[in-house]
A and B are shown apart, each in its own frame.
Chain A
Amino acid sequence: MLSLDRSESLMNRQSDTGKLSVKIPSEIKHIRGVSSGILKWLEPRKLDDSRLFDIRLCVEEVLRNAIMHGNDNDKELIVRISYWLEGDSLVIEVEDQGKGFDAGKVPDPTIDKNLMKGSGRGVYLVRKLTDKMEFNDKGNRVRLTKYLK
């Protein structure tokens, strides 16, 4: 099990490939700091409010899934977030230390019998608000691609 002190957990690290990454313990309270950091990093791109809203929402939804469903809220487990630009697209990768899940098994929240349900909209919204959403085979790593122009 990996435990991180706060200063390390919230620190952005830049790799040789230009990717930025941050690791957080599996606690909801860290989500806002990560999304704010990504939005701040994007400031020079002068994106419109609508795109910034989408990016924030998608980041926070996948982080929440990773923390609550992937790592089952176990504070000893970490979530790793990497983000970088590929041409005119933002790519965000989120990986948890859980057993993985099958996104294909998430019921469609928009069909009538599911409309009143309390959950299931997060993954659906992310899929709709990004240009690409891909999972690894295990289902514990998701990569989002969002075109910025």
Chain B
Amino acid sequence: MSVKTEVKNDLTVCCVEGEIDINTAPDIKKAFEKLISKKTPKIVINLTRVTYVDSSGLATLVEILKNMKAYGGRMRLSNMSHKIKSLFEITKLEKLFEIIADEAEAISTFI
């Protein structure tokens, strides 16, 4: 698993590659801790290269969102595979997250 971060104007795009599950959750949390400690206002997490997410992975994303909301930050998820999106639908997490089809749209409409 890896997280590549790129700053684009006032927002930060994070491309996650690999699996987000119980094994990688600690590394994912660590990768986002730095951005959260700096109170990064807007983050787009591009999931195009994420092949697998389990309940621990979902919980990790919820925790990152919760930590961002604590200081008024906002997070968007983009480029989710159909399968991973279905997990967000089943668990109703789609109500919690801003899920955008692709990164360009997530950036251009992120006001």
Contact flag A57-B23 (CB < 8 Å), given A116-B96, A121-B59: no
Q: A61 and B54: CB pair below 8 A?
A: yes
A50 to B84, CA, bound (A): 10
Contact of A32 among B23, B56, B62, B87 (CB under 8 A): B23
B21 at the A interface (CB under 8 A): yes
Give how many B residues have a beta carbon under 8 Å from the other chain's beta carbons: 20
A103 to B79, CA, bound (A): 34
List CB contacts (< 8 Å) of B15-74 with chain A.
21-23, 52, 54-56, 58-59, 62-63, 66
A-side interface size class: 20 to 34
A89 at the B interface (CB under 8 A): no
Query: Which secondary structure characterizes the binding site on chain B?
Result: helix
B108 at the A interface (CB under 8 A): no
Question: Which B residues form the contact surface with A (CB < 8 A)?
Answer: 21-23, 52, 54-56, 58-59, 62-63, 66, 83, 87, 90-93, 95-96
13 sampled A-B residue pairs with Cβ under 8 A: A28-B23, A53-B52, A60-B21, A61-B54, A61-B55, A115-B95, A116-B66, A118-B62, A118-B63, A119-B59, A121-B91, A125-B91, A129-B90
